[in-house]
Structure 1
Amino acid sequence: MLSTKLVRQLLQVALEGGGDFAEVFFENAKSNSLVLENSKLERVKTGYDLGIGIRVLSGDKVSYAYTDDLTKESLLQTAKVAGAASQGQNKVTITDLRKGTINQVHPVQIRPEEVAKKKKAELMKEANQAALNYDDNIRQVIISYADNTQEIMIADSDGLYVEDERIHTRMRVKAIASDGEKIQTGSESPGLQVGFELFDQYPPQKLGEEAARQAVTMLGAKSAPSGKMPVVINHGFGGVLFHEACGHGLEADLVQKNSSVFAGQVGKQVASKVVTAVDDATIKNGWGSFGIDDEGQQAERTVLIEDGILKDYMYDLKTARKDERASTGNGRRDSYQSLPVPRMSNTFIEAGDFDPEEIITAVDDGLYAKKLSGGQVETATGEFVFTVAEGYMIKNGQLAEPVRGATLIGKGIDVLQKISMVGNDLKLAPGMCGKAGQSIPAAVGQPTLLVDEITVGGTERKGE
């Protein structure tokens, strides 16, 4: 970490151009990754990211410079470059830097850098063998493991000076099944802001078996029907639909650019009355959680939608300054090389009152989307197409035959308004969220819920 004396000097130099706010972001990160394919360890990689970024704000203008050369001469030059572009007339007095304290609510029991790569590879081999043993139709298994330890320091001209450490661990298991004619895949990819104890909660053998089960089940599935129908979306990663089709539209930078269907909608009914959605960075050991965001603001729980009413957006410091309000602690960046922008953390629809079985029973003829995968979204309109990785028909309130090739097609705000039942089984799932060329850990989630009508794309006509 840098001394407070040097940090203060950097802030002073950065403000010489007349900016009204300056910030220093220091990062020291180490990552480890392993890939196992065809039962062989194919890649082992260790990466390092060490550097500093300096940002200056002058009204709505932002200037930014960064370097991985931490000599005093280089740092001062970086500060000078960042400040030179501001071209303001302000004379800011830097408040004394006082080190803040952070509540460490994300404990780590087994630091991953203290675990030998051989041990990590052994767990991957366990998952691999479990998947291969599940069924003779499993042809290939691909497993990746990754851990990341990130130390950060953030200081600014308002007197903020805070430090934090974040540790993420994740494993991805992909199983590929084939009967000689068709090929189907299944996957499991748990991750949390924890250390190697992740595998106490998610044993590798179970991950391999579950990925294989999905692939084999879909191998024997019928083609999905097409048409408008009720859809039950399973808990957990089903929340990716809300994240992509609605969540990005609730980030303040897009709202301020009028690039969101939610612009100007605070206080209005944007969803069914049974829907409450939040962004919560305070969840213990959550994949998208943190003690402070990447601008040093304390992690918060922000209610976005309450009983269907739009309550708030997600703000970083820059967008908050523009709206003359406080940040919601959603300023995030993927490294010292990037500017912070408003981003989600753990974003989800809160639990409701129904048992999942009750929700399925309420559907006479529809689709159960047990697992979603990738999709495409137009952020400005909320229009989406999502692939159902594992789906089943619902007949007379009971799960029926599995179906493959289904897609969900619609508009995020329309889907929110058509949710009629929300389950009591909230679950979060990890993901990597992309925006502005940056990728960060963000969790999605929801309980099981019923959407009264979504257009389902498939290869069969409904009713045939």
Structure 2
Amino acid sequence: MIDKRIVSDVLYAALSTGGDFAELFVEDRMNTSIEMIQNKVEKALSGRDFGIGIRIFKGLNSVYTYTNNASRDVLVKAARDAAAALNEVPTGMRFDLVMRKPEVVHPVLIRPENVSKSDKVALMRRGSLAAQRQSELIKQVVVNYMDYRQRVLIANTEGVWAEDDRTKTRYVVSAVAETENKLESGRAGKGAGKGFELYDEVDVEGLGKEASRMALVMLDASGAPSGRFPVVIDNRFGGVIFHEACGHGLEATAVAKGNSVFAGKLGETIASSCVSAVDDGTIIGEWGSASFDDEGTPTKRNLLIENGVLKGYMIDKLNARRMNMPITGSSRRQSYQYAPTSRMTNTYILNGTDRFEDMIASVPYGLYAKNLGGGSVNPATGEFNFSVQEGYLIEDGRITKPVKGATLIGTGLEILQKIEQVGTNFGASEGMCGSVSGSIPAGLGQPAIKVADITIGGREDA
């Protein structure tokens, strides 16, 4: 991607005014995105992004700059200009760049860039038609397809030279059902760290049918009740609560500055004893996986919670200095335009021992949250609220009628401590996670869980 002699020259220039660490991040990325509305392609974009980021540390201070010009003179000048912000005595540091071999390789069988746009559009049309055929009440179907190939090089003055080749592809169907006085939506999709071979595994017609099913069910839903009730949160999309309400609070970005409710709690019981959780960037083909993080550290399986006890955080290089703790292969960024920091990869609550049927049967009156929608979280306090996209009442131990307008309200610590049962039906999903280093692909997942009680904001017509 770039000559090693140029990389060395740039890194030495970055150390010219007393920095004790310098890093170069080179990115070459090919993108494709297509949007189809009612079987017609409305948007089709493709392009290439290329750029280089330069980062310098001095103690706990950090300087970052970037450019999309790869010439030696421009890069050396950018490094010297960034280094000027430190203005200290040069250390005379020496280093040798040594290639790192990945411990985990994520294979891609069919490169999406080698698949024609017409084949991608044909794939989208299959899901669109399947969604429309479910009912005459389905008034609009939108299909979004995306893929990218991101090749990166990370080199630093610790001697690291790491290269990674990351491919992601994703397919999402959204359906809108409408009657004279009601309008409801449903959504289904799948994304992975794989190439076009993903669609040998994924039933795109099934995704279309699922999006329409959800929209049609919600047409008949009544308003959800308000109050404190037991809640059974299903697998896959239920993982968004742990990701948002707890996962962000375990990132060193928040912990190192004391802006997390989990700061200083290592070794303490923070959750029910039936809860164990990990962040794992090594899982082959998963949405948030990679061979190296964006600092050139091999990704790892990091144990976060074990039987309710807080075991670890997700830590990047700069915050490792602040916390005096080892890095965990958790540093990520959207692109060369962002300095990296600690972020989640694939963050999961692990399987427990309880049956889903027994969870439902144990609830005299409560809510079954089958699919969650969007929400908001305050990482410093763990306070959250999440909308329930598809929910049902539980009455006398049975799932009964669908309800809409439910919002789950609470804190991360509260929900962790009130989990009474954890199922055996683990399921994973994916999303885009936004934070200070941009928007990145993040996997999420869990088995079904039962929360003893949680505040539910409902609808006035309940």
Task: Tell me which interval the TM-score lies in, with the shorter structure as reference length.
Answer: over 0.9
Contact 2:332/2:437 (<8 A) preserved: no
The Cα offsets for residues 356-395 of structure 1, whole Å up to 9 and x where unpaired, read as: 2222122121110000010011111111110000001112
1:39 CA displacement = 2.1
The answer to whether structure 1 residue 259 and structure 2 residue 263 are counterparts is: no
**3-state SS in 2 of match to 1:424:** coil
Contact 1:58/1:88 (<8 A) preserved: no
Give matches, 1:44-59, under 5 Å: 44-59=44-59
The Cα offsets for residues 243-296 of structure 1, whole Å up to 9 and x where unpaired, read as: 111111111121121111111111111111111111111111110111000000
Partners of 1:137 and 1:211 in 2: CA distance: 13
Determine the structure 1 residue equivalent to 2:239.
239
Contact 1:270/1:413 (<8 A) preserved: yes
1:413 CA displacement = 0.6
Letter in 2 for 1:315: I
Contact 2:169/2:195 (<8 A) preserved: yes
Contact 1:95/1:157 (<8 A) preserved: yes
Question: Percent of aligned pairs with the same residue?
Answer: 46
The Cα offsets for residues 215-265 of structure 1, whole Å up to 9 and x where unpaired, read as: 000011111111110000000111111111111111112112111111111
The answer to whether structure 1 residue 214 and structure 2 residue 214 are counterparts is: yes
Determine the structure 2 residue equivalent to 1:139.
139
Contact 2:33/2:147 (<8 A) preserved: yes
Letter in 2 for 1:42: E
The Cα offsets for residues 391-424 of structure 1, whole Å up to 9 and x where unpaired, read as: 0111222111111111101111100000010011
**3-state SS in 1 of match to 2:354:** coil
Determine the structure 1 residue equivalent to 2:347.
347
Closer/same/farther in 2, CA of residues 318 and 342 from structure 1, 3 Å limit: same
Question: Segments of 4+ in structure 1 off by > 3 A?
Answer: none
The Cα offsets for residues 62-101 of structure 1, whole Å up to 9 and x where unpaired, read as: 0111110111211111111222212233514232111111
Contact 1:102/1:291 (<8 A) preserved: yes
Closer/same/farther in 2, CA of residues 220 and 77 from structure 1, 3 Å limit: same
Query: In the comparison of the two structures, how many residue pairs are matched?
Result: 462
Determine the structure 1 residue equivalent to 2:228.
228
Gaps of 5+ in 2: none
1:38 CA displacement = 2.5
1:325 CA displacement = 2.6
43-52 vs 354-363, which moves further: 354-363
Determine the structure 1 residue equivalent to 2:190.
190
Determine the structure 2 residue equivalent to 1:362.
362
Give matches, 1:1-12, under 5 Å: 1-12=1-12
Letter in 1 for 2:181: E
The answer to whether structure 1 residue 375 and structure 2 residue 348 are counterparts is: no
**3-state SS in 1 of match to 2:266:** coil
Determine the structure 1 residue equivalent to 2:304.
304
Determine the structure 1 residue equivalent to 2:21.
21
Partners of 1:147 and 1:246 in 2: CA distance: 29
Determine the structure 1 residue equivalent to 2:447.
447
Letter in 2 for 1:102: P
Partners of 2:287 and 2:200 in 1: CA distance: 16
Partners of 1:122 and 1:391 in 2: CA distance: 33
The Cα offsets for residues 136-161 of structure 1, whole Å up to 9 and x where unpaired, read as: 11000111100010000001001000
Partners of 2:455 and 2:321 in 1: CA distance: 41
Determine the structure 2 residue equivalent to 1:35.
35
412-421 vs 361-370, which moves further: 361-370
Partners of 1:324 and 1:383 in 2: CA distance: 28
The answer to whether structure 1 residue 65 and structure 2 residue 29 are counterparts is: no
Partners of 1:232 and 1:406 in 2: CA distance: 13
Contact 1:14/1:82 (<8 A) preserved: yes
The answer to whether structure 1 residue 294 and structure 2 residue 279 are counterparts is: no
Partners of 2:312 and 2:87 in 1: CA distance: 33
Letter in 2 for 1:445: G
Closer/same/farther in 2, CA of residues 324 and 258 from structure 1, 3 Å limit: closer
Partners of 1:407 and 1:199 in 2: CA distance: 34
Determine the structure 2 residue equivalent to 1:315.
315
Contact 1:94/1:159 (<8 A) preserved: no
Determine the structure 2 residue equivalent to 1:106.
106
Letter in 1 for 2:296: G
Give matches, 1:388-403, under 5 Å: 388-403=388-403
The answer to whether structure 1 residue 416 and structure 2 residue 441 are counterparts is: no
The Cα offsets for residues 27-64 of structure 1, whole Å up to 9 and x where unpaired, read as: 00010010001221001100211011110000111011
Partners of 1:256 and 1:299 in 2: CA distance: 20
Determine the structure 2 residue equivalent to 1:250.
250
Letter in 1 for 2:184: Q
24-33 vs 347-356, which moves further: 347-356
1:129 CA displacement = 0.6
Partners of 1:7 and 1:231 in 2: CA distance: 54
**3-state SS in 1 of match to 2:226:** strand
Partners of 1:88 and 1:312 in 2: CA distance: 35
Partners of 1:59 and 1:455 in 2: CA distance: 45
Partners of 1:183 and 1:92 in 2: CA distance: 67
Letter in 2 for 1:229: F
Partners of 1:429 and 1:441 in 2: CA distance: 11
Contact 1:147/1:170 (<8 A) preserved: yes
TM-score by length of 1: 0.98
Partners of 1:244 and 1:221 in 2: CA distance: 27
**3-state SS in 2 of match to 1:16:** coil
**3-state SS in 1 of match to 2:141:** strand
144-153 vs 76-85, which moves further: 76-85
Contact 2:238/2:445 (<8 A) preserved: yes
Contact 2:351/2:422 (<8 A) preserved: yes
**3-state SS in 2 of match to 1:377:** strand
1:108 CA displacement = 1.1
The answer to whether structure 1 residue 270 and structure 2 residue 267 are counterparts is: no
**3-state SS in 1 of match to 2:187:** strand
TM-score by length of 2: 0.98
Partners of 1:437 and 1:268 in 2: CA distance: 29
The answer to whether structure 1 residue 87 and structure 2 residue 87 are counterparts is: yes
